[in-house]
Amino acid sequence: MREIVLVNCAYDRSDDSVFTSPRTCERITGGRLARDRGTIYPHVDGVSTEHSCQAVCLRVLRAERRKSVSGETVLITGASRGIGRCLALEFAKHGASTIILWGRDEEKLSSVKKEVEESGKARCHFYRCDVGDREQVYRTIQKVQEDVGAITILVNNAGVVHGGALLETKDDNIEDTFRVNTLSHFWTTKSVLPSMLANGRGHVVGIASTLGLFPLPGVSDYVASKFSVVGFYESLAAELREQGHRDVSVTCMCPGHTTTDMFKDLTTQPFSLTPQQVAEQTIEAVKTNQRRVILPRVMHLTWILNSWLPGSWMRNVLYVTGAMKDMENFCAKR
Residue 323 lies in a domain: no
Same domain? 55 vs 110: no
Residue 104 covered by a domain: yes
Among 61, 89, 107, give the residue marking a domain's end. 61
List, as own/partner pairs, every contact residues 162-167 make where C-beta atoms lie below 8 angstroms and the sequence separation is at least 24, other chains included. Answer: 162/219, 162/221, 162/222, 162/334, 163/218, 163/219, 163/222, 163/330, 163/331, 163/334, 164/218, 164/219, 164/331, 164/334, 165/217, 165/218, 165/220, 165/331, 166/220, 166/221
Eight-class DSSP state of 26: -
Neighbours of 266 (CB within 10 A): 19
Q: Where residue 127 sits, what CATH number does that domain have?
A: 3.40.50.720
In a domain, 315, yes or no: no
Whether 44 is covered by a domain: the verdict is yes
Please check whether residues 266 and 298 belong to one and the same domain: yes
Q: Is there a single domain that holds both residue 87 and residue 148?
A: yes
pLDDT tens by residue, 286-330: 999 999 999 988 787 777 777 777 767 767 776 776 666 666 666
Query: Residue 264 has what pLDDT?
Result: 67
Q: Report CA dihedral (224, 227, 233, 236) to the nearest 10 degrees.
A: -70
Percent of the chain exceeding pLDDT 70 equals 73
Same domain, 141 and 237: yes
Q: Give the tens place of pLDDT for each residue, 251-295.
A: 999 998 888 877 766 665 667 899 999 999 999 999 999 999 999
**Together in a domain, 83 and 49:** no
Same-domain pairing of 99 and 216: yes
| Known active-site residue 222 | yes
Q: What domain count does the chain have?
A: 2
Q: Do 225 and 117 share a structural domain?
A: yes
Q: Would the pTM count as exceeding 0.85?
A: no
Spans of the chain below 70 pLDDT = 1-64, 264-270, 311, 314, 318, 321-334
Q: How far, in Å, CA of 229 to CA of 246, rounded?
A: 21
- Indicate which residue of 11, 222, 233, 319 is catalytic: 222
Domain of 17 in residue numbering reads as 3-61
Give a yes or no: residue 319 inside a domain. no
Q: Are residues 51 and 87 in the same domain?
A: no
